[in-house]
Amino acid sequence: MKDETLTRQEKIWKVITVTAHACQPLLLYLVVPALFSCVVALFMGKTMDPESFRWNNGQFSRTMGILLTFYLLRRGCKKREITIWDETNLYWKQINWRKFALLTVTGIGFSLFMSAVLTVVPLPQFLKGPYHELSSQVYDRLDTVFTVVSMIILAPVVEELVFRGYVLNRMLEGYDNPKTAVLASTILFAVCHGTPLWILYALFMGLLMSHVSIEEENIAYAIALHFGYNVTSLPIWLANRSPEVSAVVFASPVLVVCYGTVGICAAALCLRKYPLSLEKLLSYLPRAGRKKE
C-alpha cells in the first residue's frame, strides 16, 4: 500500500512497526551480553565481589555475550532459510580489497585525528571525564585477550551486522525516505555509545559507514571503517600502559598534533582515492536536502 493512500494514523503505525522490526536485532545485541554477564556474575559472586568480577572477567563475559548474540541471529536466519550474510548484505566474496584497504586506513586516520583532538584540545571535564571512565572500563582489565578480541574483531563485525545489516537495511526497506533511514540508524548507533564524545564520534562514523554500505550494497566496507577505527586504540592503549613508552611516543603536544595531522591527511587521501562523493554523503543531512530542493 502506497503512502499516498494511507491515513495519518496508518502512516504513524507503519513507522512504528518498521522501526520495531528493524530494532529487534539491536535489542538482542544490547540485552544478551548484559544478561550473560549477570548470569556469570551470579555464579562467580560466591568467590569474588562485583568490582573484582568486572576487573577480572568483565570483557570475557561481554565477548561470550557477543558470540551468543551472533549465534542467535544466525539461528534465526536458518529458520528463515537464509544465510546471515545474505540477510545483512555482507558479501565476503565480492569485496574489492583495494577499497577495503583504503577504508581501513581511513578509519585509522580518523581515529588518530580524534584521539589527538581529545588530547590537545582543553575540553570541559563533563565531556572528557565520562570518555576516560568508559575507556578505562573497556581496556584497564585483566582479561586483556578478551578485550582485544571483543573490541578489534567482534565489535566491528557484529555491530555492523546489527546496525547496518539489520537496522539500516530494514529501515531502507520500510521507510519511504532513505534519508530518514540513514539518519535514524545513525542516531541509534551513536546513542548506544553512551558518552557525549563517543556519541559525536559515532554520529560522523555512523553516517559514513551507512553511506558506503548503501553505495557498495555490501556492509563489508562499513566493517573496514569500523575495524580501522577500533584497531588504532590498541597501540595507543599499549603505549599508555608503559610510562617509559608513553613518555617517548607522547612526548609533547606538538608530537600528538603531528599524529593527528598525519591521520586526517591519510583519511582524506584514502577517501579521495576510494572515491567518496562528499555531495552524496552530505545529502543525507536535513539542511543539505533542503538546500538542494
- DSSP SS3 for 230: helix
pLDDT tens per residue, range 233-260? 888 777 777 788 888 888 888 999 999 9
pLDDT tens per residue, range 166-178? 999 999 999 989 9
Q: How far is CA 103 from CA 22, 24, 216, 266, in A?
A: 26, 28, 12, 10
What pLDDT does 290 receive? Answer: 47
Task: Write the Ramachandran bin of 122: left for phi over 0, alpha for psi from -120 to 50, otherwise beta.
Answer: beta
Contact present, 167 and 18 (Cβ < 8 Å): no
The H or E element containing residue 255 is helix 253-273
Three cell numbers, residue 293? 530542493
What pLDDT does 211 receive? Answer: 97
The span from the CA of 4 to the CA of 2, in Å, is 5
> Which residues neighbour 233 within 8 Å (Cβ) at sequence distance 6 or greater?
111, 115, 139, 151
pLDDT in tens, the chain (293 residues): 456 677 888 888 999 999 999 999 999 999 998 898 888 777 766 556 656 656 566 677 888 899 999 999 999 999 999 999 999 999 999 999 999 999 999 999 999 998 898 888 888 877 777 766 666 656 555 567 777 888 888 999 999 999 999 999 999 999 989 999 999 999 999 999 878 888 988 999 999 999 999 999 999 999 999 999 999 888 877 777 778 888 888 888 899 999 999 999 999 999 999 999 999 999 998 864 444 44
Q: What is the pTM of this model?
A: 0.89
What pLDDT does 135 receive? Answer: 66
Contact present, 67 and 28 (Cβ < 8 Å): no
Q: ω before 25 within 30° of 0 (cis)? A: no
* Helices 8-44, 178-191: inter-axial angle, 10-degree rounding: 20
Domains of the chain by residue range: 3-88+96-292
